[in-house]
Amino acid sequence: MSDKVKPEFQKAKKNRIFQDVVDQIQEAILEGKLTPGDVLPPERELRETFNVSRGTLREALRVLEQKGLIEIRLGTGGGARVKEAGTDQLTETLAFMIRSGTLPVVDIGEFREGMEGKIASLAALRANEKDIKKLEKILKNALEIAQKGESGWQDFLYADESMHKEISKIARNSVYQYLMKVVHDNIQRYYNKFLDFSDSRLAENCKDLKDIVSAIKEQRAEEAGRIAEEHVKRFNARMRAKEALTAQSIAGIISEAL
C-alpha cells in the first residue's frame, strides 16, 4: 500500500461499535485507500485501533465478507484480504428473488418493457456488420425451431433468450447487459407457469424477432425500441392474465372447500 494514502481508522463510536467498524473499512475500500489484494492489519492491531472486542471485530469482518468486499483466509499468509469488485452476490440475490417467485409478475414485466426497448434502440445505433451476422444466425435458428410447432416451444424460448442477450451485448452498456443476463437466466419458471403456448403465438413471436433484427440492421433505433417494448408487453399481458386466472381458480377451490 506504499503508493496509496493509508486509511486512518478511528476508535469505534460507543453507541454503534459494530456498524462503525464496518463503515470505516468499507469507506477505506470505496475511497481507494484499500485496494484489491491489500491485506488488512492483523486482528490484534485492528482491535487496538478500533478499541473493540475480538467478537465485535470478527462479526464486522464477517459482514464485510458477506458484502463481497473482503475474503478471510486461514493459515499461513492468511488474514482479511480486500477483494476485486464483483457482482456475484448481487446476481445471486436477484436470481433467487426471481426464481423463488417473490417478485410479482407485473414488476418484472414493467422493468423489462422499459429496459429491453432502450437496449434495442442502443443496439440499432451501435451494431456493426459482425453483430448483425450473429443476430441473423440466432434468428435463423429460432425460425427453424418454430417450424416444429408447439413441440418446439421450449427450444424457441431459449433461442428467444439468446436473441435478447445478444442484443444487450450489441448495445454495449455493461449495466444493461448484466441485468438482461440475470433476468433471462432466471425467468423461465415464469414462462412455464404463466404462459399458454400456441402456433399463433409462436408465429407472432417469430415476426417480432424478424422485425427487431431488421430494425437494428437498418439502424432504425426508435422503431427497434418500439418493437422490442411491444414484444415484451404482449408477453407480460399474457402472463398477468394467466396469473389472474390461476388466482381465481385457487380462490374458487378454497371457497368450495369451505
For the domain 14-82, what is the CATH code? Answer: 1.10.10.10
Exposed, middle or buried: residue 249 (CB in 10 Å: 0-12, 13-18, 19+)? exposed
- The pLDDT of residue 181: 87
- Candidates 159, 137, 252; CA nearest to 205 is 159
Q: What is the pLDDT of residues 7-66, one digit of tens each?
A: 777 776 666 788 899 999 999 988 889 998 899 999 999 999 999 999 999 999 998 888
pLDDT by residue, tens only, the chain of 258 residues: 456 677 777 776 666 788 899 999 999 988 889 998 899 999 999 999 999 999 999 999 998 888 888 898 887 777 899 988 665 666 676 777 777 777 777 788 888 888 999 999 999 999 999 999 999 999 999 999 999 887 888 899 889 999 999 999 999 999 899 888 888 888 777 776 766 677 888 889 999 999 999 999 999 999 999 999 998 888 777 777 766 665 555 555 555 545
- CB burial of 65-95 (b: ≥16 within 10 Å; e: otherwise) equals eeebbbeeeeeeeebbbbbeeeeeeebeebb
- The pLDDT of residue 110: 84
The dihedral through the CA atoms of 228, 234, 239, 243 has a sign that is positive
- The pLDDT of residue 1: 47
Exposed, middle or buried: residue 146 (CB in 10 Å: 0-12, 13-18, 19+)? buried
User: What are the DSSP calls for 63-93, one per residue?
Assistant: HHHHTTSEEEE-STT-EEEEPPP--HHHHHH
- The pLDDT of residue 31: 87
- Candidates 104, 78, 111, 252; CA nearest to 184 is 111
Architecture of domain 88-257: Up-down Bundle (1.20)
The SS3 assignment for 51 reads coil
Query: What's the CA gap between 162 and 167, in Å, rounded?
Result: 9
Query: What's the CA gap between 148 and 163, in Å, rounded?
Result: 19
- Candidates 111, 106, 140, 124; CA nearest to 227 is 124
Angle at which helices 129-146 and 199-217 pack, to 10 degrees? 170
Query: What's the CA gap between 164 and 120, in Å, rounded?
Result: 9
Query: What's the CA gap between 75 and 226, in Å, rounded?
Result: 57
